[in-house]
Structure 1
Amino acid sequence: MCAAALTLGLLAAPAHAAEPLHGAGWALKSTGKEVRFRGLAAVSHTTAWLAGSKGTVLRTVDGGRTWSDVSPPSAVAQALELRDIEAFDSRRAVALSIGEGEASRILRTEDGGATWAETFRNPDPRAFYDCLTFFDSRHGLAMSDPVDGKFRLLSTDDGGRTWEVLPTEGMPEALPGEAGFAASGQCLVSAGPKDVWLATGGAATARILHSSDRGLTWTATESTLPAGDPARGVFALAFRDRTKGLAVGGDYRTGQPSPQAAAVTSDGGRSWNGAATPPPAYRSGAAWYPYAGNTALAVGPTGTDVSTDGGRHWRPLDPGSFDTVDCAPAAGCWASGEKGRVARLERRG
């Protein structure tokens, strides 16, 4: 997994390049931790945030050479499961812990993790929050599994300082057994100022819900991904813009087959088509490569795959285990997962 340092210019492959990731691979960055990092926010080529088990939050501002342990003391004391983190820059970030009832919480920092404020603690024992997303530095949503037969959404318009439960009149009824997967922080994603998508599994069909008004009204569309079991469904979404998106997932159980573990949309999620050559196994995270319009990455316990044609065909890139992947808009792709594994995409020397 060793790789030479990659300059910003090498990462910035032109959009017309036939193989923008040719010769690139994951370069592991030592974190000194053994926890599992399912939450990841790539800010740039040098700056990234991680959120994981036992209330752990790490931050790097030097490309992963060193990591600062900026874990919220309250989260560490209660061993919260932090499964998602959204960062606006090197100082401001919002993290989500999962679980039933009060285990689901939202914490916010604006000083690089030196101090944290708990801005939401779930009072409803029926709710279980899975994922966060932000449209910009002020407006964001958090998603819970269904309560009273519908997915529940929290909304903020002040950068995560305060949250309120959105009305559910515009939310379709959930299917029996339907829920989200808190596997990679990518079961709720947004693109642009108002569009947001929600991924589901566990039911007879795996669905993707879309809202174009920041979560007030939704439409549901069946995906082509494996379904019909609590362990199957759509685990992650990635949208390059409000029309072009990817979905990955499958069956997360070790050794279980996951045929058709990826799908694509070009109409904002109104319809989904299965990948012609999908990843060979379950994938839990996905991201668009920032400098090539049709290049994307998908990660999971058995490896990383890359597509250079918008998600229609995938090929193996790396065999290492990761749970989630994120690429900063300007530069820098990162991945994280079990046993403290974190890596940055770099050109192999």
Structure 2
Amino acid sequence: MAALVAVALGGAPAAGAATPARHPDLTWRLSVTGTDAQLRGLAAVSSRVAWASGARGTVLRTVDSGRTWQRSTPPGSEALDLRDIEAFDARTAVTMSIGPGDQSRIYRTTDGGATWTETFRSAEPAAFYDCMAFFDRRHGLAMSDPVDGKFRVLSTDDGGASWQVVPDAGMPPALAGEFGFAASGQCLTVAGGRHAWIATGGGATARVLHSADRGRTWTAHDTVLASGPSAGVYATAFRDRSRGIAVGGDYTDPTGGVDALGVTRDGGRTWSRPAVAPQGYRSGVAWHPFLPTVAIAVGPTGSDVTVDGGLRWHSFDAGSFDTVDCARDGACWASGARGRVGKLGWS
């Protein structure tokens, strides 16, 4: 089992190479990024290309598998926290800063970060944008904590060059105290071309909201994850419009893994607890693109892998990461505190 997962996630040995004497172990191959900024935003484009974003307006890009990183800062974002980044290739990326009112902004580059254009700045004092996701190169959504009692959603149909507020008539009311966690850029996720999910916490229950029409209408469903002022669903990942994983817990109790992960097989309408859960709060999760039952979860106390669709999880690393993302070619990357970035491999 370990060999199958490791080869799929990290690459097979070169032709003619000797067969390892033991099963290889999954491992994060760390990069020297040249920054100590916390990197909660991550976009895996391929084995060679990845982007990361974070504190102090930091944006990093590698085009050589993490051997070197180029840093850029969108103008005016030097004091902002860029908690999410979505990238389409080595030149085109969209990044989001978080914060109340006009601290929530979106920037876009089409030249690898050499120049950036601000394409959205919130004019609503009550708004606090948390994360964004793209269905394809043109169509995407961004979400804010509730404004006037409902989660606020933006949409774009030109790759993030412009954004429009989605009317909230199709959004159910938020619970008292409910909000999204801007911890990993994964509180809003998409799958299947039209389906989107918002992860929440802070209220009486931890919920996942689902849209089947690219954000125009939403339905809310309770999960099995714990909820509270610092607890809830921090991230979701959906293999398709039906199979999903929700991770979270309480960030003030990083080693507590009770009610911190759920699995769904019906698009988020119902959730079940895994038979074996990660032993700690987890803030990021991603499916592997090739192996239909393999996913990775990360958090400040370690990384875990499942090979059975989320029912059983196995720890393979004790280092701290905030988020994880897998590219279409099978490369998986993770990023987190103090500029830590890793690419999944095997040893």
| Structures share fold, TM-score greater than 0.5 | yes
- The structural deviation recorded for 1:22 is 4.8
2:44 is the alignment partner of 1:42? yes
The equivalent of 2:160 in structure 1 is 160
The equivalent of 2:177 in structure 1 is 177
Matched-pair contact (CA < 8 Å) for 1:42–1:327: yes
Matched-pair contact (CA < 8 Å) for 1:12–1:331: no
- The structural deviation recorded for 1:255 is 5.3
Whole-angstrom distance in 1 between the partners of 2:269 and 2:134: 22
- The structural deviation recorded for 1:151 is 0.2
- 1:256 to 1:230, Cα distance in 2 relative to 1, 3 A: farther
Whole-angstrom distance in 2 between the partners of 1:331 and 1:251: 30
1:144-185 deviation line (CA, Å, top 9, x unaligned)? 000010000001011111111000111110000000000000
2:79 is the alignment partner of 1:60? no
The equivalent of 2:96 in structure 1 is 96
- 1:45 to 1:271, Cα distance in 2 relative to 1, 3 A: same
Whole-angstrom distance in 1 between the partners of 2:266 and 2:187: 19
Q: Which amino acid aligns with 1:166?
A: V
2:301 is the alignment partner of 1:302? yes
- 1:110 to 1:197, Cα distance in 2 relative to 1, 3 A: same
Residue 334 of structure 1 aligns to a residue whose secondary structure is: strand
Residue 153 of structure 1 aligns to a residue whose secondary structure is: strand
Q: Which amino acid aligns with 2:190?
A: S
Within a 5 Å distance, the mapping from 1:65-144 to structure 2 comes to 65-76=67-78, 79-144=79-144
- 1:23 to 1:215, Cα distance in 2 relative to 1, 3 A: same
Structure 2 gap ranges (5+): 1-5, 14-22
Within a 5 Å distance, the mapping from 1:206-245 to structure 2 comes to 206-227=206-227, 229-245=228-244
> Share of identical aligned residues, percent?
59
- The structural deviation recorded for 1:254 is 4.0
Whole-angstrom distance in 2 between the partners of 1:7 and 1:32: 29
- 1:10 to 1:248, Cα distance in 2 relative to 1, 3 A: closer
Whole-angstrom distance in 2 between the partners of 1:109 and 1:12: 34
Give the paired residue count.
333
Whole-angstrom distance in 2 between the partners of 1:8 and 1:313: 19
2:325 is the alignment partner of 1:323? no
Matched-pair contact (CA < 8 Å) for 2:194–2:214: yes
- The structural deviation recorded for 1:226 is 0.8
Within a 5 Å distance, the mapping from 1:324-339 to structure 2 comes to 324-339=323-338
The equivalent of 2:271 in structure 1 is 272
- The structural deviation recorded for 1:11 is 2.6
Q: Given the alignment, which residue of 30, 41, 45 partners 1:28?
A: 30
Computed over aligned residues only, the root mean square deviation of the Cα atoms, in angstroms, reads: 1.7
Whole-angstrom distance in 2 between the partners of 1:82 and 1:104: 9
- 1:335 to 1:256, Cα distance in 2 relative to 1, 3 A: closer
Structure 1 gap ranges (5+): 1-5, 14-20
Residue 338 of structure 2 aligns to a residue whose secondary structure is: helix
The equivalent of 1:3 in structure 2 is none
Matched-pair contact (CA < 8 Å) for 2:105–2:122: yes
Whole-angstrom distance in 1 between the partners of 2:63 and 2:73: 16
Residue 169 of structure 1 aligns to a residue whose secondary structure is: helix
Matched-pair contact (CA < 8 Å) for 1:70–1:112: no
Whole-angstrom distance in 1 between the partners of 2:32 and 2:133: 27
Whole-angstrom distance in 2 between the partners of 1:265 and 1:62: 37
- The structural deviation recorded for 1:70 is 2.1
1:90-109 deviation line (CA, Å, top 9, x unaligned)? 11000000000000000000
Matched-pair contact (CA < 8 Å) for 1:226–1:258: no
Whole-angstrom distance in 1 between the partners of 2:231 and 2:254: 13
TM-score under structure 2 length normalisation: 0.93
Q: Which runs of 4+ in 1 moved over 3 A?
A: 6-10
Residue 339 of structure 1 aligns to a residue whose secondary structure is: helix
- The structural deviation recorded for 1:74 is 2.1
- The structural deviation recorded for 1:71 is 2.0
The equivalent of 2:187 in structure 1 is 187
- The structural deviation recorded for 1:201 is 0.1
Q: Which amino acid aligns with 1:241?
A: D
Q: Which amino acid aligns with 2:39?
A: F
Residue 73 of structure 1 aligns to a residue whose secondary structure is: coil
2:280 is the alignment partner of 1:281? yes
Matched-pair contact (CA < 8 Å) for 1:210–1:219: yes
1:301-348 deviation line (CA, Å, top 9, x unaligned)? 000011110001111110000000000022210000000100000121
Whole-angstrom distance in 2 between the partners of 1:340 and 1:180: 24
